Chain A
């Protein structure tokens, strides 16, 4: 593949455009409500109407308003149809010939769509994720070609550093710094890993990116490999994402066929390969050292750092691990320049962030917003507030490692530092909205149960501490706990936070700590009267904590 061929593919693809385009969301959300069948019905309806030469029906990635799926978009006139059924196909196609339809219309100009800013999701809902030509038509792989032909590896690293991009997996470590460290570590063999082991409850950003635009992630990985000097990459995807895996496999095969992966990429001396590794359902494997152990075929357990992966990672070699969304940001940064990217967002948090908006809001789905947007805009304007008109109480970000931000802090800008200041974290992008009917102790208990189940069992504070914290939370909810128990809970939070081996344990107490910080009264309201020493009996003996 040379530049001319790339341009040729793009032009051929653009020239093949038909007068009208019907796009059907074929990401997992809409697929789960018959999206695939809807697309087939539309195919048939177009054929029956004899419009094949004028109308293209295209399966695309996420159209974002997941709660209203299956979603279909018809352009022109740019109409969005929601909850489309098989029976609707005919009337939808009919609209192209001036007919009418009773299918529920969505408003693409509503706040949910209008306030979004698409960088990572720029192709999502537009390109056919199973056709590399569709990606190339949207300037796909042009960034890679530019990099290989015009930039030295050090210049690529510097571009990423200047863009201010930070890791989208949760902790927000500066991506450029990470790349530079791996690049500067001398080794004949280096690895790139794309962490797609997305596991936070309610989070599906990475899945959507992989299902909607897999080539973008692959392109980001190849650029990273060139920048740090790696020749082998792995995408570590959880087995629960079969569609993402299938599309990645197709994308990797297509990239190889086009000479974009493999040896002599773009006829340069640079060679790089990507293999997929499938996770077996352990949340802890999202932790980088556990992930590497799993890729190596060992038990997925974290190990102490240092040594850091950049120095001694996969198979003891320097390894760059980034999240799906981080890699997906790379091609546009290269194409548009670091300055462009650095111009978006806040001083310390650049670019956009993709969130999976879920919970008690009218509009749930996938959103991409510029960093620094106030939470209120996301929850109240884009999300449309709580569905029943109830008062919104808190927003949970960062999943089991994050915290709950109370409603009176809704004007907080969404950036790494502001969320950390409130005892939460940016996290990978799960955002769960809670209203006044939700009990915050119960929320904390839910996340603690998750951490308890997902603890790998290697270090004691996390393995046994989460069990005890969970028991205490159950006891509080059962109104059997006393002030003494609450104190024990807080002591355990302190222990687990400061003595656990890896991030899972260190952050496991966060949901408890943040709800205690902002909603302590809810805990106190559930406490039973303290056993009076030497005077009165306890209300009841404690229930068996572990009946099994």
Chain B
């Protein structure tokens, strides 16, 4: 049997979803029996490979790097999963949206609360430009599955992946699709 090419991606989020994923503990060994983790913040691949079978995407699309990344990921992935509330709703990442355009957001973040040498980091190539507003992933590319939660509990991730690995379509319902 072909081994599953598995990836996780971290866009605009706190990495809490990845932490929750790590909370799968020894089940990760089970996962490793059937899948290769070909790209993830926890592995050292630099480029998102072609032909990925399953990818969990944490975080919202907040800046140009995120946008470029998610477009590439969509092109190269068969089954794309919106992983956690930030990916699905924008969640905390999108709390900047009501503030308005990026300049105002940066002012609010770097100038307003600071009393010691307030300045906005502007050197090119260091911080990717913010998008006009943070977007939930499905507003940018079509998604195949949604795995809500902030973060999704490890048991929920496990239940979901088990179905997927078994070749079935995960059907989450009830308390398994609660936000927050």
Binding site for B on A (CB under 8 A): 484, 531, 533-538, 541-544, 547-548
Question: With A and B bound together, what is the CA distance between A544 and B67 in angstroms?
Answer: 15
Report the separation of the CA atoms of residues A544 and B104 in the bound assembly, to the nearest whole angstrom: 15
Closest-CB distance, A543 to chain B (whole angstroms): 8
- Which chain B residues (119-144) contact chain A, with CB distance < 8 Å? 131-133, 135, 139-142
- Would you list which residues of chain B between 89 and 107 have a CB under 8 Å from chain A? 97, 100-101
Given A531-B141, A534-B75, 7 new contacts (CB under 8 A): A484-B142, A531-B142, A535-B75, A537-B141, A538-B141, A543-B132, A548-B100
| Inter-subunit contact A537/B139 (CB<8 Å) | no
**Chain B residues near A537 (CB-CB < 8 A):** 71, 74-75, 141
Asked if B87 CB lies within 8 Å of chain A CBs, one says no
Are A541 and B74 within 8 A (Cβ)? no
CB neighbours (8 Å) of A531 from chain B are: 141-142
Q: How far is the CA of A491 from the CA of B110 in the complex (A)?
A: 43
Q: How far is the CA of A548 from the CA of B61 in the complex (A)?
A: 19
B8 in the interface (beta carbon within 8 A): no
Q: A535-B75, A537-B71, A537-B75 are in contact. Are A542 and B100 (CB under 8 A)?
A: no
B145 at the interface (CB under 8 A from A): no
Tell whether B40 is near chain A: CB-to-CB under 8 Å: no
Contacts of A536 in B (CB 8 A): 75
Which residues of chain A have C-beta atoms less than 8 A from B77's C-beta? 534
Chain B minimum-CB-distance residue to A548: B100
When distances are taken between beta carbons in the complex, the residues of chain A under 8 Å from B158 are none
Q: Which residues of A contact B78 (CB under 8 A)?
A: 534
**Which of B67, B97, B132, B133 has most A Cβ within 10 Å?**
B133
Contacting pair A541 B140 (CB below 8 A): yes
- Can you list 6 residue pairs at the A/B interface with Cβ under 8 Å? A537-B74, A541-B61, A541-B67, A542-B140, A544-B132, A547-B100
Residue of B nearest to A542 (CB): B139
| B135/A541 in contact, CB under 8 A | yes
A538 and B140 contact, CB distance less than 8 A: yes
Could you tell me the distance in whole angstroms from the C-beta of A326 to the nearest C-beta in chain B? 47
Q: Which residues of A contact B97 (CB under 8 A)?
A: 544
Chain A residues contacting B101 (CB-CB under 8 Å) are 547
Complex-state Cα separation, A543 to B133, whole angstroms: 9
Q: Which residues of B contact A548 (CB under 8 A)?
A: 100
Q: Given A541-B67, A541-B135, A542-B135, is A533 in contact with B142 using a C-beta cutoff of 8 Å?
A: yes
CA distance A313 to B102 in the complex (A): 52
Task: Assess whether B74 is in contact with A544, with CB atoms less than 8 Å apart.
Answer: no
Q: Complex Cα distance A541/B70, Å? A: 11
Q: Which residue of A lies closest to B67 (CB)?
A: A541
Q: Given the complex of chains A and B, what is the CA–CA distance between A342 and B48 in angstroms?
A: 78
Q: Which A residues are CB-close (under 8 A) to B141?
A: 531, 537-538
Q: Which residue of A lies closest to B131 (CB)?
A: A541
B119 shortest CB reach to chain A, Å: 26
Residues of B within 8 A of A541 (CB): 61, 67, 131, 135, 139-140
Q: How far is the CA of A548 from the CA of B97 in the complex (A)?
A: 9
How far does the alpha carbon of A211 sit from the alpha carbon of B37 in the complex, in Å?
A: 78
Which of B100, B132, B135, B142 counts the most chain A CB atoms within 10 A? B142
How far does the Cβ of B43 sit from chain A's closest Cβ, in whole Å? 23
Q: Which residues of A contact B75 (CB under 8 A)?
A: 534-537
State A537–B78 Cα separation when bound (angstroms).
Answer: 14
Question: Shortest CB–CB separation between residue B132 and chain A, in angstroms?
Answer: 5
Contacting residues, chain A, for B132 (C-beta < 8 A): 543-544, 547
Closest 8 CB pairs of A and B: A537-B71, A544-B133, A533-B142, A544-B132, A541-B140, A542-B139, A531-B142, A541-B67
Contact of B74 among A484, A534, A547 (CB under 8 A): A534
Chain A residues with CB under 8 Å of B61's CB are: 541
Task: Please encode chain B, from 73 to 91, with 1 for each CB lying within 8 Å of some chain A CB and 0 for all others.
Answer: 0110110000000000000
State in angstroms the CA–CA spacing of A543 and B132 once bound together.
Answer: 8
- Name the residue on B nearest A530 (C-beta): B142
CB distance from B76 to the nearest CB of A (A): 9
**Nearest CB of B to A250, in Å:** 51
- Least Cβ–Cβ distance between B180 and chain A, in angstroms: 21
Query: B71 contacts which chain A residues (CB < 8 A)?
Result: 537-538
Please report the C-alpha to C-alpha distance between residue A282 and residue B70 in the assembled complex, in whole angstroms: 45
Provide the residues of chain B in CB contact with A544, threshold 8 Å.
97, 132-133
- Identity of the chain A residue whose Cβ is nearest the Cβ of B101 in the assembled complex: A547
In the bound assembly, the distance between CA atoms of A542 and B131 in angstroms comes to 11
Q: Which of A533, A534, A547 has the most CB of B within 10 A?
A: A534
The interface residues of chain B lying within 8 Å CB-to-CB of A542 are 135, 139-140
With the chains together, A469 CA to B74 CA distance in Å?
27
> Closest CB-CB distance, A60 to chain B, in whole Å?
54
Q: How far, in Å, is A537 (CB) from chain B's closest CB? A: 4
A533 to B78, CA, bound (A): 9
- Which residues from chain A contact B133 at a C-beta distance below 8 Å? 544
CB distance from A492 to the nearest CB of B (A): 16
Name the distance in Å between B57's Cβ and chain A's nearest Cβ: 14
Q: Report the minimal beta-carbon distance from A527 to chain B, rounded to whole angstroms.
A: 16
Which residues of B from 155 to 180 have beta carbons under 8 Å from A? none
Provide the bound-state CA to CA distance between A541 and B139, in Å: 8
Contacts of A533 in B (CB 8 A): 142
Please measure, in the bound complex, the distance between the C-alpha atom of A535 and the C-alpha atom of B71, giving whole angstroms.
Answer: 10
Centre residue among A533, A537, A542, A547 by max chain B CB count within 10 A: A537
In the bound complex, how far is the Cα of B140 from the Cα of A543, in angstroms? Answer: 11
A484 CA / B131 CA spacing, docked (Å)? 23
Select from chain B the residue with minimum beta-carbon distance to A482. Answer: B142
B-side contacts of A534, CB under 8 Å: 74-75, 77-78
Q: B143: nearest residue on chain A (CB-CB)?
A: A533
Nearest Cβ in chain B — how far from A474, in angstroms? 15
In the assembled complex, the Cα of A484 lies from the Cα of B140 at a distance in Å of 13
Chain A, Cβ-Cβ closest to B80: A534
With a cutoff of 8 Å between Cβ atoms, the chain B residues found around residue A543 in the complex are 132
User: A537 CA to B100 CA in the complex, in Å?
Assistant: 26
| A547–B135 CA distance with the chains assembled, in angstroms | 13
Q: How far is the CA of A374 from the CA of B166 in the complex (A)?
A: 66
A531 and B141 alpha carbons, distance in the complex (Å)? 7
Nearest-neighbor residue (CB-CB) of B139 within chain A: A542
